[in-house]
Structure 1
Amino acid sequence: MQAIRSQGSGGQNVNKVSTAVHLRFDITASSLPEEDKEKLLNLRDNRISKDGVIIIKAQRYNSQIKNKEDALNRLIVIIKRVTVAVNSRKPTKPTKASKMKRLENKAIQSQKKSLRGKVKESS
């Protein structure tokens, strides 16, 4: 992590205090498992350089401590996106009770609609 001067508005404070933070995380030199490193390197993210370094610039807050926390949280989000395994959906069939309920509701609906038709006059 490296403290740098923030861009944008902030009055005289901008010219004096280094509140923004540059966080650099080298993927290849990290202690992450090899498969997670590969997934991170294959991510299509502008924050990941060709050398395999994640670069995050945090300057939302006027405090260097808050910007450090923000940068670390954003790094954690990137890493979690890769490390969390997505469970695949197991296709299931509808139960017998749910089929019966659907058919009963269909019959009720059909009856309602048939009653909405023209009334036949009987003589």
Structure 2
Amino acid sequence: MFKHILVPVAPGHEKEYSASIEAAKKLLADGGRISVLSIMEELPSYMASYFPKDQLKKAIDELADTLTAELGSDVIDVHVVSGHSTNAILTWQEKHKADCVVVSSHRPGLSDLLLGSTAARVVRHSNCSVVVLR
């Protein structure tokens, strides 16, 4: 059983991760916490100039509110950060000392064999246990 479980959730696909959250609840020790983490990719600099300066912050706040309304509970905390998905997951997990990551994966295609999916990179580089669900 784990005390702090991280469940990464892709923006726009929150409802597809109910299996990850259910798995995390089953793996959670008494008194433990589940952290749902969603990562907003930053706009490239050439595009950012076309948007208000606080656009990313507004998008992060809006997504955090949506996720909290849908997923928040007495054992689930919601966090939204900006950055590259794999790096953000690994950095957040290490900084907040999650002892397990429950991540969803899809069936790998050719591009995944060449580049690797986010789940595969998290498995390879995480310093804690990782549970991959398909």
- Which TM-score band (shorter chain)? under 0.3
Q: Which has the higher strand share?
A: 2
Higher relative contact order (CA 8 A, sep 6+): 2
